[in-house]
């Protein structure tokens, strides 16, 4: 549980979306709420309906003092691993804020390296409104991107599962193969890439 925050203190909440999927970027958001304009209904984005998230997203954009998104791309996830790519996305979100926060509240149990004014709060998206707001913006932004990627890479069902390893997604991977937006370091994708390929038969192109 975090200590009480004075209203005069500029505090940013930070959260990410997209650690678990097999495809697409990890997206983070940083939000500084305006204590003069509290937003009702803020909660962990995963516990809200799509309609609730859409309304709250509009309220956050309208009433927050400032906000910013950060991301780490698929190649960065594969190079760094998903934990450090998430930390990088969070750092980029904080760096993008128009205001400099005095304190940064991050959902989870780790903070980005060098962010000395940050504190990690386990399940902070359930207890800290600024982190809840960040979780909503991050999820909304990433979900929209995955819907867009569904148009570029048809057949995988990104618009439905947003890249998570559902049965339908794993089946599509088996039948369609690995797309450029898939995370090659993640188990199901990595195993598929490492699977021996059949030798070309006589008369087939090599």
Q: How far is the first Cα of the chain from the last one, in angstroms, to the nearest whole number?
A: 61
What local confidence, expressed as pLDDT, does residue 9 receive? 85
204: pLDDT strictly greater than 70? no
Helices (H) and strands (E) in the chain, counts: 8, 5
Question: Over the stretch 75-92, which tens digit does the pLDDT of each residue have?
Answer: 999 999 999 999 999 999
Spell out the domains of the chain, with CATH numbers in brackets. Answer: 11-194 (3.30.420.10)
Average pLDDT, the chain: 92
* % of the chain at pLDDT higher than 90: 88
Which range, of 2-6, 112-116, 120-124, 192-196, averages the lowest pLDDT? 2-6
State how far the Cα of 185 lies from the Cα of 45, in Å rounded to an integer. 27
State how far the Cα of 121 lies from the Cα of 133, in Å rounded to an integer. 15
What local confidence, expressed as pLDDT, does residue 202 receive? 53
Residue closest to 68 by CA, chosen among 43, 44, 104: 104
Question: Over the stretch 88-129, which tens digit does the pLDDT of each residue have?
Answer: 999 999 999 999 999 999 999 999 999 999 999 999 999 999
Q: Would the pTM of this model clear 0.95, i.e. be above it?
A: no
Question: Judging by DSSP bridges, how do beta strands 26-32 and 103-107 pair with one another?
Answer: unpaired
């Amino acid at each position: 549980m975090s200590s009480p925050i004075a209203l005069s203190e500029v505090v940013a909440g930070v959260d990410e979306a997209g650690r678990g999927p097999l495809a697409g970027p990890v997206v983070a958001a940083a939000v500084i709420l305006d204590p003069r304009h509290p937003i009702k209904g803020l909660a962990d984005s995963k516990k809200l309906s799509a309609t609730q998230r859409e309304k709250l997203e509009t309220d956050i954009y309208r009433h927050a003092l400032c906000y910013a998104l950060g991301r780490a791309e698929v190649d960065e996830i594969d190079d760094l691993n998903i934990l450090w790519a998430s930390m990088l996305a969070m750092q980029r979100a904080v760096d993008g804020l128009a205001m400099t926060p005095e304190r940064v509240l991050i959902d989870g149990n780790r903070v980005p390296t060098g962010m000395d004014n940050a504190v990690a709060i386990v399940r902070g998206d359930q207890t800290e409104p600024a982190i809840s707001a960040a979780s909503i913006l991050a999820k909304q932004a990433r979900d929209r991107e995955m819907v867009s990627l569904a148009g570029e890479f048809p057949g995988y069902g990104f618009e439905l599962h947003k890249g998570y390893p559902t049965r339908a997604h794993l089946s599509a991977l088996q039948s369609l193969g690995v797309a450029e937006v898939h995370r090659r370091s993640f188990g199901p994708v990595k195993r598929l890439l490492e699977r021996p390929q059949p030798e070309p038969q006589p008369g087939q192109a090599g």
